[in-house]
Amino acid sequence: MAKLHFSAAACVAALLGLAACNKPAEQAKAPEAPAAAIPAPPPAASTPTTYACDDGASVKASYPDADTAVVELDGKAHTLKIAVSASGARYVGDGLQWWTKGMTDGQLSPLKAGEDIASAPGVNCKAPESATPAG
């Protein structure tokens, strides 16, 4: 009798499994909702931050949008665009590379003709702790 009970249970389970696979055509072919676009994060700091560099220079940097840094050096503004980096945020353009780690540390390097990543070591720059947003 137990053998018969097991066979009936196995048959019911198999039928339920088949019923789950047999969806109406409308349900099986329902279009998936498009993935929601992830908005770009807001810029880390839209007001300028002044960095003191190891060579005595000062660099003023602002970030008008998530893909742009405006770096002012020796009274001249340079607009740089975001570039691939393993860590931090790296911006390049106008013969310069500005690479930041958080909001306090930056490194400004010259780009030689044809370079996408600066080969020169550049100069380290630091923003005062008071310039960083509280978090």
pTM (global) more than 0.85 = no
Per the domain annotation, does 1 fall within a domain? no
Question: What's the rounded Cα separation, in Å, for the pair 85 and 69?
Answer: 15
Per the domain annotation, does 123 fall within a domain? yes
Per the domain annotation, does 126 fall within a domain? yes
Report the CATH number at residue 63.
2.40.128.200
At 20, phi and psi to the nearest 5? -70, -30
Per the domain annotation, does 36 fall within a domain? no
Domain limits at 94?
Answer: 49-130
Model confidence over 50-93: pLDDT tens digits? 999 999 999 999 999 999 999 999 999 999 999 999 899 999 99
Per the domain annotation, does 15 fall within a domain? no
Question: What's the rounded Cα separation, in Å, for the pair 61 and 73?
Answer: 9
Per the domain annotation, does 112 fall within a domain? yes
The total number of structural domains that make up the chain: 1
Per the domain annotation, does 114 fall within a domain? yes
Per the domain annotation, does 96 fall within a domain? yes
Q: What is the pLDDT of residue 37?
A: 46
Secondary-structure percent of the chain, ordered helix, strand, coil, rounded to 5: 20, 35, 45
Of residues 55 and 32, more confidence is placed in: 55
Q: What is the pLDDT of residue 130?
A: 60
Grade residue 7 by pLDDT with cuts at 50, 70 and 90: very low
